[in-house]
Structure 1
Amino acid sequence: MADYHLSRYDMILPLEEVEGKALLANGVYGAYDVVPLSCIDSIKSGGEWLDEELFERLKKRGHLVKESAEEELKNASLLTRCWWLLPYRAIMDLVIMPTYNCNFRCDYCYERKRLEKGNEWLGHSMSDEVLDAVFDQIDEYIRQGRHIRNVFLYGGEPLLRTNKKQVEYIINACHDREIKLICVTNGYDLDQYIDILEPDWFDFLQITVDGPKEVHDKRRFLAGGQGSYEKIMKNISLVLEKGLRVHLRTNINRSNLESVMELPKEFEKRGFLKYPNFYWYFKATIGCFEDDPNNAITDLEMYETMKAFGMDKKTALQHCMLYGQITRRVGGAIAAETYPPLRPAACGAEADMLVVDPDGKLYTCWDVVSMEEYTVGYTDLEAKRFRFDLNFPKWRGRTADRLENCADCPMMMVCGGGCAIESDHAYGTMDKGFCGTFKEAFEEVVPYICGNKYKESGEDELGGSWYDLIGNITDEDKETLFSTMSQLEAQDILKKYLRRYKRIFR
């Protein structure tokens, strides 16, 4: 026992409403274990005085380890490498922007600077030539065995009346290839598209409402200054009745933080909550894009305000975006519905998302489209292929194990290093992690969901652990996993060790 010590990536957390117990949460290996509170001092000292059964369990699960700090960081890097090489990494999401134009002039929109480029630049839509090239590239990806999980319609405003020809092209082309669509729309012209929006073809529509009518209309108004609230609300009813799933998003900063707390009552009043295809959530605006930094709020402030206005904890966790993401990520894993949490990259921009703008320029992050410094390539119209530049690997190589201030963080594989753009604005580089209030959210969510799971099942081991994988891979196979450029070779190796996680392999 003297050779063992508590993993550098372990957290000791209280279990909510469970007396005499504590939670060991390892954010790299994904192991969540309930232990007697009386054993914590012994665990901190490397397991001395623990009974043999508990000691062996904590060793197997990766809470008590022999590895040095450097060796554990190498474990994290190997898990990141496995994550990139697992078969599910063949999944990708493609974002298609029919236009940069928008019929709204939202006062907080991070896309406002595009207006400076003039109406000619804003007003044109994606040409048939670009669309043909995009779908030729999609066909090539499919031939290569990649799975296009979703195509997103994005803008600007993708569902402008003037875009209908392009949108019909995209919808029909996706349907022919059995690709589900997601549409991020302001919802104003939805009634003009209702005839071509089929529930079976769309995963969901994301529509934004920013508060009660008087608040929303001051934030999300038409280019001519008119309000948009009533038209959007009527269109939401229209698409819900047709059976389309709606994710209703509310963007929140200090100017509407308290007023939006009335929205759930409005959703109930309008009958939205009776639809199983309706979901709402609150999201803090991206702080680095706020003109006035004092107007930005944190996810923690938003969550605390939700509770202060009478929302019960379960509701607040489900409908506050960051808290809901952690709930699904960790909750699904401890419910044995998925493999242990493993998220070395913060979001799709660093993992599996690609954005094509109206001119065929490529980005990985949809928050920075039109910003030339963030392009990662272009669409070659002659060859009908995407061509990538040296910015592309900068995004795809941004994982938490490589970020200088994330190496010691026990939440590294749950957080993924935070937003690259927020980091770039805060530190002048994307090569640092951006924490925000993730730690506070994690420490609020995980004891709650693990406590509920323990009370329900009585099980001490909540979900699996990637430490099993790390411990069993031979040095020779580890060397191959670090060096190989062949996904097939890596998958053949990983299949030997991942028998218990068969669902990963398609």
Structure 2
Amino acid sequence: MSSYVIGAPLADERFFLLLHGIRGSLDKVATTTGAYLVENRGEIAAAPPWDSGGRIEAHLKERGYLTDLSQEQERGLMVDTATALHEVDLASNPPSFVFVPAYTCNLRCPYCYQSHEMHAGKGDFATVMTRERVDEAFRVIDGFDRPGAVARHLDLLPPSGKDVSQAGAVGKLGLFGGEPLQEATREIVGYIVERARNRGSALWAITNGVQLDLFADLLGPDGLAELQITLDGMADLHDSRRVGPRFRHTFHKIVENIDRALDADVRVRVRMNVDRSNADHVARLNDLFMERGWDEHPSFSAAAAVVTGEAKHEQLVSPADLMELTRALRTDGTSCVSSYEGHALNIIRRAIAESYPFQRAVNCSAETGLLMFDPRGDLYGCWDEVGLIGRRIGRYGGGVLDLDEEVVRNWLSRFPGAIEQCSRCPYALIHTSGCANTARVDSGSIFAAACEGFQAYFPRSLAESYDEIEHQLLGNMPPARTRTRSLPIVQVTSG
């Protein structure tokens, strides 16, 4: 039996859903067959519940659940598949470019992973990006704004053979912080938007939304086009968590600014950071979204995510528990909040469409080329490491880009086939090794797995998502009003 079988029982207990972690096969089988394959992964089928040599066995072989390969040969197939996907990732993805206009923040959320010194603007953290820094950053962008540019710069890919003397237009640029959209950054963000518009680019931002009204003239598809904004519950709880020196009551201000952004045709993704203290507010926020009509807005989506204890990356509420909560909200067809269903839904949709369900082998843009320009002239390649001098990947300025090529090459060399534990895991091409920074914190190296409980919740998510889609396709239930649109924003651990 294959070592890469994944599966879970369906709501109809007679049936079991199988997924092959390399082949991408998706099959609905008898529960006795599916459970036997999952429980005995990698073993010889000594007493299978199907007839030896019969039709069922032939089908299981054809789909990859039964194999003539040894465990090491099958692992080799996994590594080869992951390597092929990784090469496509590196060659087809342009670098991601992000501006950090300032490290300061107008809030002091207690669970934030960034330091108080950073948000208070102490020492070098007081620096706000200048126009000269912005111009220097765009010089770098002009030289790297094509697919595979960073990988080719590091000789990880062969030269493209194309004329790249004229820079093209990056689709979207990012803003991050600290808090990128605050009073102190209004002037420089306006300049970044101006420069981006001149080259045909729009911007996205991860923002707390408290002072978004100051940027009203920049909102829209050709300016600040996409926003991720956090609400942690209704006003009573939210205002105890999302607070700052000048902002003691932020809930209603943020809600008003979300309305303002949606009215300007901005794509808004509301994020809720969930721990034990506010899990019961997910349903209340969902009701609020629907009362305000946001769930019907084509540019709105909402997602809940667990907050972690950053020092040890301990989950303060499990993804499995959170997913159970958001699933319960969907049962009456009136939820617009998702959590961790995206992996399963995307795989099932691709499999039903008869395409290969595993589309990439990297976990985030840090592993294909992420260049984050800070106001001091430092470059970073990971959201969680911004502002930590010892983690920078280079410097920019004075017409010079000085990359620490060894560090960047390591980032771009991380994928499941390069990690022993991942190469033996049936979930490797789905979870793609997890967050590299989490792996570094937990093990001391980015070349390690960051499982983050994925194996515990994914099989059930797969089965539940299949049940929902099957029922909708067969017309046995009304389709749930679940918004699962996602922005091209890398998820940040603590938002």
Q: 1:50 to 1:343 in 2, by over 3 A?
A: farther
Q: 1:144 to 1:261 in 2, by over 3 A?
A: closer
**In the aligned structure 2, how far is the partner of 1:446 from the partner of 1:196?**
40
**In the aligned structure 2, how far is the partner of 1:453 from the partner of 1:82?**
30
Contact 1:208 1:249 in 2 (8 A): yes
Residue matched to 1:473: none
Match of 2:272 among 246, 250, 256: 250
Residue matched to 1:301: 321
Q: 1:116 to 1:96 in 2, by over 3 A?
A: closer
Listed as ranges, the gaps of 5+ residues in structure 1 are 1-5, 459-506
Residue matched to 2:135: 132
Cα drift, residue 454 of structure 1: 5.0
Match of 1:107 among 103, 106, 110: 110
Contact 1:345 1:416 in 2 (8 A): yes
Contact 1:349 1:365 in 2 (8 A): yes
1:418 and 2:434 matched: yes
Q: How does 1:77-156 map to 2 (within 5 A)?
A: 77-86=79-88, 89-115=92-118, 118-142=121-145, 148-156=170-178
**In the aligned structure 1, how far is the partner of 2:30 from the partner of 2:312?**
46
Cα drift, residue 415 of structure 1: 0.7
Match of 1:319 among 296, 317, 337: 337
Cα drift, residue 406 of structure 1: 2.4
Match of 1:385 among 381, 398, 401: 401
Contact 1:186 1:208 in 2 (8 A): yes
Match of 1:68 among 67, 70, 74: 70
What letter matches 2:94 in structure 1?
A: I
**In the aligned structure 1, how far is the partner of 2:255 from the partner of 2:34?**
53
Q: How does 1:224-373 map to 2 (within 5 A)?
A: 224=246, 226-289=248-311, 296-306=316-326, 311-313=329-331, 319-321=337-339, 323-336=340-353, 339-373=356-390
**In the aligned structure 2, how far is the partner of 1:150 from the partner of 1:95?**
9
What letter matches 1:430 in structure 2?
A: I
Q: 1:62 to 1:249 in 2, by over 3 A?
A: same
Q: 1:223 to 1:411 in 2, by over 3 A?
A: same
Deviations 1:354-378 (A, max 9, x none): 3222223222221221122322222
Secondary structure of 1:446's match? Answer: helix
**In the aligned structure 2, how far is the partner of 1:53 from the partner of 1:171?**
62
**In the aligned structure 1, how far is the partner of 2:441 from the partner of 2:79?**
26
Residue matched to 2:3: 8
Deviations 1:4-53 (A, max 9, x none): xx221112432333x64332211233221223446559977299846666
Secondary structure of 1:311's match? Answer: helix
Deviations 1:82-130 (A, max 9, x none): 1222276333322211111111111111113443885342332212222
**In the aligned structure 2, how far is the partner of 1:389 from the partner of 1:306?**
43
Pairwise CA RMSD of aligned residues? 3.1
1:213 and 2:235 matched: yes
Cα drift, residue 210 of structure 1: 1.1
Cα drift, residue 220 of structure 1: 0.9
Deviations 1:356-413 (A, max 9, x none): 222232222212211223222222x233435234222222222223324323211111
Contact 2:372 2:380 in 1 (8 A): yes
Q: 1:106 to 1:32 in 2, by over 3 A?
A: same
Residue matched to 1:471: none
Cα drift, residue 206 of structure 1: 0.7
Cα drift, residue 57 of structure 1: 4.5
TM-score by length of 2: 0.80
Q: 1:290 to 1:71 in 2, by over 3 A?
A: closer
Residue matched to 2:457: 441
What letter matches 2:24 in structure 1?
A: G
Greater mean deviation of Cα atoms: 403-412 or 227-236: 403-412
Residue matched to 1:403: 419
Deviations 1:225-258 (A, max 9, x none): 5221121111111111222111011112223233
What letter matches 2:423 in structure 1?
A: A
**In the aligned structure 1, how far is the partner of 2:282 from the partner of 2:329?**
13
Relative to total residues, which structure has the larger helix share, 1 or 2?
1
Residue matched to 1:472: none
**In the aligned structure 1, how far is the partner of 2:182 from the partner of 2:119?**
20
Contact 1:114 1:370 in 2 (8 A): no
Cα drift, residue 75 of structure 1: 1.7
**In the aligned structure 2, how far is the partner of 1:417 from the partner of 1:314?**
34
**In the aligned structure 2, how far is the partner of 1:54 from the partner of 1:352?**
45
Q: 1:242 to 1:225 in 2, by over 3 A?
A: closer
1:26 and 2:20 matched: yes
Q: How does 1:166-185 map to 2 (within 5 A)?
A: 166-185=188-207
Secondary structure of 2:382's match? Answer: coil
Cα drift, residue 61 of structure 1: 3.4
What letter matches 1:160 in structure 2?
A: Q
What letter matches 2:371 in structure 1?
A: L
**In the aligned structure 2, how far is the partner of 1:150 from the partner of 1:299?**
30
Match of 2:444 among 425, 428, 442: 428
Contact 1:83 1:89 in 2 (8 A): no
Contact 1:89 1:352 in 2 (8 A): no
Contact 2:218 2:224 in 1 (8 A): no
Q: 1:271 to 1:340 in 2, by over 3 A?
A: closer
Contact 1:137 1:386 in 2 (8 A): no
What letter matches 1:25 in structure 2?
A: L
Q: 1:361 to 1:325 in 2, by over 3 A?
A: farther
**In the aligned structure 2, how far is the partner of 1:41 from the partner of 1:282?**
31
**In the aligned structure 2, how far is the partner of 1:316 from the partner of 1:416?**
32
**In the aligned structure 2, how far is the partner of 1:258 from the partner of 1:144?**
43
Greater mean deviation of Cα atoms: 246-255 or 424-433: 424-433
Cα drift, residue 182 of structure 1: 1.2
TM-score by length of 1: 0.78
Contact 2:14 2:31 in 1 (8 A): yes
Q: 1:304 to 1:100 in 2, by over 3 A?
A: same
**In the aligned structure 2, how far is the partner of 1:156 from the partner of 1:122?**
10
What letter matches 2:329 in structure 1?
A: M
